Structure 1
Amino acid sequence: MTEVSSWRKSTRSNGGADSSCVECRVTWRKSTRSNGGADSNCVEARQRAEGFQVRDSKLGHDSPVFALQSADFVGLLEAAARA
């Protein structure tokens, strides 16, 4: 998997010049099986304290994010390896 990172701004930021705002880096890892083509079916994943999150790499930040427990994420990887 390769890393894809971006900055996320706090939803409490009002966008004004004097607003105190925090941005944090969120790192997604893209599957090495992604060929970058328009027809590639690929996912990105990131580890969270409570497990993992998975999203569609083509949609990026517009993708729905699915939360998985660690055991479920391992099961997903095992099923994908068999496919």
Structure 2
Amino acid sequence: MSGNIRVSEPSAEMQIKIIRAKDAIASQKPRIVRCPYCRHNSIIVFEDTRGHVQTKCKACGRETVFNVLEMRRLRRLQLYYSSLNG
């Protein structure tokens, strides 16, 4: 590990923002988005997440851009088709 990393407490204003963000998602259901290459858990998104999110997989190291709304639609279609077949 590098010796140049500095860790400090966030400012009071930033801590208030962090607490507000935690409170805002407290009642929301988290959803895990997996890496499309190795299926490792890549990121966690919440119901109010919109737009594009870029992440780097910790397992395989590939960077992927996810369209969160599109991923939600794909999941709904998968559930719909599985209910027709099952």
Q: What is the TM-score normalised by the length of structure 1?
A: 0.29
Q: Which has the higher contact order (CA 8 A, sep 6+)?
A: 1
Bigger share in strand? 1
Q: What is the TM-score normalised by the length of structure 2?
A: 0.29
